[in-house]
Chains A and B, each alone.
Chain A
Amino acid sequence: MADLMKVTIDGITVEVAPGTSILNAARQIGGDIVPPAMCYYSKLEGSGGKCRTCIVKVSKGSEKDPRPMPKLVASCRTTVMDGMEVQNITSPEVLEARSGVVEMLLINHPLDCPVCDQAGECDLQNLGYEHGLQKTRYEFERRTFDRIDIGDKIQLHMNRCILCYRCVFTADQITNKRVHGILNRGDHSEISTYIQTAVDNDFSGNVIDVCPVGALTDKTFRFKNRVWFTKPVDAHRNCDHEKCNGQVTLWYKGADVLRVTARKDQFGEVESFICNTCRFEKKATSDWNIEQPTHIPDTSVIASNHYETFKPLPVIMENLALQKANQVELEKTSKF
């Protein structure tokens, strides 16, 4: 292996292989300094660079050429140099620009989270909470499109789309023929299959998983439930499709499997793409071998109903009366 490169992100130094992007270097460190990414997807070649939410400041170009980069750069498409110093959350300039990008992403977004199936696991929603304004400065009508059915299992809700191009790359790289692309230009550009029934492919359902917002939704799950009322469980089956390993997450409500998705890692990216049979047709517990409850980070709203452990406030530990009142919960915490 070639020499490792030393890169410092927000004061934390990490050594990474040459050719690594700043974003992936930050992901190796983890935590708050990882820039958010709406369009970059490590499993899709050529993705990234478009949404501009991952912009960072390069305050020192490299050991050899210490000049800072003149503009903020997209961390997902900028490769690290030895000795590079990057500022993400420590730079007010970056945070300012990022909140600008979030504002731009939201001005034409319908903000229909209350009726959107993606709510609760939506990257744009998370980004909006962290960087968005309480009140919009946009006082015009938002652009609207008609909903389009892409095949009988997927619905495209173009109003919510942020044009990350992930689904286009998925259709291009995962499925064997691309019948899916972008029409038009500028803020009237739209994802389209042109002929609505054209997406017919064993892997087409993956466009739902890669979509960072609620633009592409699973029609078999539409309006069935809110994600935070469902219980995710890792499971697998012996899928006979050569490219599908059958490793999925099942989303339960009571005893029913409401939907099946690919397993996602901590950055919201799927571990491996799954076929449409696993996704849309196997919705009985008997089809699957259950492994374990899916790990959900406790910052996610999905965790709020099922996995939250009781964290007693300091005042409870000091007050006997309160300890008695919370006895059941306190016993639970000591049991684990």
Chain B
Amino acid sequence: MGRKLLLEHINVPGINTLEVYRQKGGYRAVEKALKTLTPDEVVEEVKKSGLRGRGGAGFPTGMKWSFLAKPEGVARYLVCNADESEPGTFKDRYLMTYIPHALIEGMIVSSFALGANTSYIYVRGEMMPQIRILEKAIAEAKAAGFLGKNILGSGYDLELYVQSGGGAYICGEETALLESLEGKRGNPRIKPPFPAIAGLYGCPTVVNNVESIAAVVPIINDGGDEYAKVGIGRSTGTKLISASGNLVKPGVYEIELGLPVEEFIYSDEYCGGIANGKRLKATVAGGSSVPILPANLTLKYANGEPRLMSYESLAEGGFATGTMMGSGGFIAFDEDQCIVRNTWNFSRFYHHESCGQCSPCREGTGWLEKVLHRLEFGHGKMSDIDLLVDVSKKIEGNTICPLGDAAAWPVASAIRHFRDEFEWHVKEPSKSQTSNYGLANYANPIEKKEEEVKQDNS
């Protein structure tokens, strides 16, 4: 049984109320931080913990906090990014629905550490129930004296607001989120300046994911060093994984980083294997924008060593044979799933969600989607496959925000690993409409290293 830090009490009835949450040791971190620690000591604890941002990029949270500019007389803000909209990721919604006080508590401690007197939780527009839950939780915390003026007699003031977004994926990008929070069109800003220097209303701002902020609570309770003992290497602590797709038990799981991928998929403690006795074909390990991997590379590295659920291990092999941790949206595909269709579906999403600010992403995402649509519905040409690779290369890295990369990577990786399935769609257009390409050799043991190198070059 893996250690649980965030979801330990998730099954306690009434844990969404302040009363039960406090009985289970809630708001200890607020008391400890505000009464016994200075803001800098809190930042130091978070740095020691090695906590990495849980929103996707995996940037060390303590480091991000220490970059925050602290000019005299200028307000600072903490903004919680709850605009979770990545296909395949639903951990933040789960956390906010069932244990909202974990986020509120984390927000209080984090705001104290950063010296912010006003903090915002920016929630995606579709999550109306969660907005109500958070507002209720804030009201409870305020009534109990954890928010407002002079919290617990420490002299620290904090107001916490929930802001509903309009439901745009792009507003999960931190600068677009800030624009949206200011009431403007949610276009990403051009960086630099980074939000740590000029963020919300031009003031220094930290934007953190829901899970990162909630993870501050166990870090303060147990100490940063204790937290750093969980996990493996530079991937410390626990991570919420949103498991979906053809699994026996899809859902949100808290894992200790470093868990073997094979154990995560097949053990009964977690996903319990592939549903309906099918075999695994491919996985998207970290939400729709990370590269897709065939089953053999999901479970093992190219050299045959087992792959683990951690930031480093999932990225092992780079883009050629690896993927990324991302936001922890783990999607499993069984042998009946069509990779071309899935890639088209992802592209359709990015086409719809591109903000239209910079040219490569605005035009390129639409182009990718149209070509993939043609391939999937049996009107494709062999040259389309190379066209897709070329277009995705033209988008990647040439855009203002990472949405362009996020749109390009799934397409490029699907073609890299599943090229024969794309070719099959061109060669057998009518057959591809009625039957599946099947598992093919995607789950076969990985060939010897020399052959692997040859394949990369082709």
Residues of A with Cβ closer than 8 Å to B? Answer: 48-53, 55, 71-72, 74, 77, 97, 100-101, 103-105, 107-108, 137-138, 140, 162-163, 165, 181-182, 184-189
Proximity bits, B340-366, A CB within 8 Å = 1, else 0: 000000000001111111111011111
A108 vs B364: C-alpha distance in the bound complex, in angstroms? Answer: 10
Q: Give chain B residues whose Cβ lies under 8 Å from the Cβ of A185.
A: 168, 170, 352-356
Contact B356 A52 (CB under 8 A): no
Contact A97 B359 (CB under 8 A): no
> Which residues 374-431 of B have a CB within 8 angstroms of A?
387, 393-394, 397-400
A165 vs B359: C-alpha distance in the bound complex, in angstroms? Answer: 12
* Min distance, Cβ B28 to any Cβ of chain A, angstroms: 42
| B interface majority secondary structure | helix
A52-B399 contact given A186-B354, A189-B356, CB 8 Å threshold:
yes
Chain B, Cβ-Cβ closest to A105: B359
A74 vs B191: C-alpha distance in the bound complex, in angstroms? Answer: 10
Q: Give chain B residues whose Cβ lies under 8 Å from the Cβ of A48.
A: 190
Partner among B353, B359, B370, B387 whose Cβ is within 8 Å of the Cβ of A50: B359
Contact A52 B358 (CB under 8 A): yes
16 new A-B pairs (CB below 8 Å) besides A140-B370, A189-B355? A97-B394, A97-B398, A100-B360, A100-B394, A101-B359, A101-B360, A104-B360, A104-B394, A107-B367, A163-B362, A165-B357, A186-B351, A186-B354, A186-B365, A187-B351, A187-B356
Q: Give chain A residues whose Cβ lies under 8 Å from the Cβ of B363.
A: 104-105, 107-108, 187
Q: Give chain B residues whose Cβ lies under 8 Å from the Cβ of A184.
A: 356
| A interface majority secondary structure | loop
* Min distance, Cβ A52 to any Cβ of chain B, angstroms: 5
A182 vs B358: C-alpha distance in the bound complex, in angstroms? Answer: 13
A186-B190 contact given A52-B399, A100-B394, A140-B370, CB 8 Å threshold:
no
A52-B353 contact given A104-B394, A107-B367, A137-B387, CB 8 Å threshold:
no
Q: Give chain A residues whose Cβ lies under 8 Å from the Cβ of B351.
A: 186-187
Interface: B229 (CB within 8 A) = no
A162 vs B398: C-alpha distance in the bound complex, in angstroms? Answer: 16
A186-B394 contact given A49-B400, A137-B387, A162-B359, CB 8 Å threshold:
no
Contact B397 A101 (CB under 8 A): no
Give the size of the chain B interface in residues (CB under 8 angstroms). Answer: 28
Q: Give chain B residues whose Cβ lies under 8 Å from the Cβ of A74.
A: 190, 400
Contact B398 A52 (CB under 8 A): yes
Proximity bits, B139-169, A CB within 8 Å = 1, else 0: 0000000000000000000000000000010
Q: Give chain A residues whose Cβ lies under 8 Å from the Cβ of B387.
A: 137
Q: Give chain B residues whose Cβ lies under 8 Å from the Cβ of A162.
A: 359
Residue in A50, A53, A72, A97 with the greatest tally of chain B CB atoms within 10 Å: A50
A105 vs B367: C-alpha distance in the bound complex, in angstroms? Answer: 12
A225 vs B92: C-alpha distance in the bound complex, in angstroms? Answer: 60
Q: Give chain A residues whose Cβ lies under 8 Å from the Cβ of B399.
A: 52
Q: Give chain B residues whose Cβ lies under 8 Å from the Cβ of A105.
A: 359, 363
Interface: B22 (CB within 8 A) = no
Contact B185 A187 (CB under 8 A): no
Contact B168 A100 (CB under 8 A): no
Q: Give chain B residues whose Cβ lies under 8 Å from the Cβ of A140.
A: 367, 370
